[in-house]
Structure 1
Amino acid sequence: MKKFVPRPGFVVQAYRFALDPNAGQEQRLRSHCGAARVAFNWAVSWVVASWWQRKAEASYGIGEDGLTPWRPWSLPVLR
């Protein structure tokens, strides 16, 4: 992987924070992370399903103009 080198005149600064949630906050954090993972998995499966569909159609000899349209995976489309 290429090493990050800041441009001349720029300063790179980072912070590290430790979370110390109570039991209720921890449950909500876990719930949020789980929901984010479900949404990510849905988006990936939605896009991959169209890829596999196109591959199957191509194996049947269907031309490019007859294949299922590509599903874009930009943020606005997935929302």
Structure 2
Amino acid sequence: MTVVVQAYRFVPDLTPGQERSVLAHAGAARVAYNWALARVKAVMDQRAAERTYGVPDVRFPR
């Protein structure tokens, strides 16, 4: 069986206003990603500190 994989690459022809909008959306997405990543890391660090104090893990029933 032969599998053919084909891809296309498109370059958008944006106006200056559209380019600003695209870059603004990409920047906002990056800010949101960095915020969420920092939040997850903070929670994991807090949990690691709690373990050193002997605080047991919280188990939620399913």
TM-score by length of 2: 0.76
Per the alignment, in what secondary structure is the counterpart of residue 34 of structure 2?
Answer: helix
Aligned to 1:42: 35
Percent identical residues = 48
CA distance in 2, matches of 1:45, 1:10: 42
CA distance in 1, matches of 2:39, 2:48: 15
Aligned to 2:50: 57
CA distance in 1, matches of 2:56, 2:3: 51
Q: Which has the higher contact order (CA 8 A, sep 6+)?
A: 1
Per the alignment, in what secondary structure is the counterpart of residue 63 of structure 1?
Answer: coil
TM-score by length of 1: 0.62
Larger CA Rg, structure 1 vs 2 = 2
> Which runs of 5 or more structure 2 residues have no equivalent in the other structure?
none
CA distance in 2, matches of 1:56, 1:50: 10
Equivalent residue in structure 2 for 1:17, among 4, 7, 10: 10
Counterpart code for 2:34: N
User: How many residues matched?
Assistant: 60
CA distance in 1, matches of 2:47, 2:57: 9
